[in-house]
Amino acid sequence: MSNTIKKSEAEWQAVLSPEQFRVLREKGTERPGTGEYNKHKESGVYTCAGCDTPLYTSTTKFDSGCGWPAFFDAIPGAVSRHEDNSMGTKRIEITCTACGGHLGHVFKGEGFPTPTDERHCVNSVSLSFKDQK
């Protein structure tokens, strides 16, 4: 599926903070335990910080202890998966389907008591949050 939101690097830099740009557009990673949504427990929807597309609901968020927000599933069609061999090991990168922004990685088979046995390990800086009231 092709990305639906296209912007030049300069356009992304104009709308994202330097840290958001580093993570979302350059596939960076925030330091563990530093993100604002790691221990966030409010009810609502987590959206892409780059394009505001809804990605995850709070009902799929769980505490994995990994230092980043963890979700066991995404909103259908919102997140794309790509093979990532950049760290000398095979991982699955997850990106926003709408804008291609880097979110983090998904890990399977870790034994968490979730319906999917998956952990979407997402950088907080890749997300925004909308309260559900």
Q: Is residue 13 over pLDDT 80? A: yes
| Range with lowest mean pLDDT among 12-26, 49-63, 84-98 | 84-98
In contact, 48 and 55? CB cutoff 8 Å: yes
Domain parsing of the chain, residue ranges: 9-131
Which amino acid is residue 72, in one-letter code? F
Q: What is the largest CA-CA distance in the chain?
A: 44
pLDDT bin (cut points 50, 70, 90) of residue 132 is confident
pLDDT, the chain, mean = 94
CATH code: domain 9-131 is 2.170.150.20
pTM of the full structure: 0.93
As a whole number, mean pLDDT of residues 122-132 equals: 96
Distance CA 45, CA 48 (A): 10
Q: Is residue 119 over pLDDT 60? A: yes
Sequence-separated (6 or more) residues with CB below 8 Å from residue 65: none
Relative to beta strand 54-57, strand 44-48 is: antiparallel
Q: Is residue 124 over pLDDT 60? A: yes
C-alpha dihedral sign at 107, 109, 110, 111: positive
pLDDT bin (cut points 50, 70, 90) of residue 89 is confident
> Which residue numbers are catalytic?
121
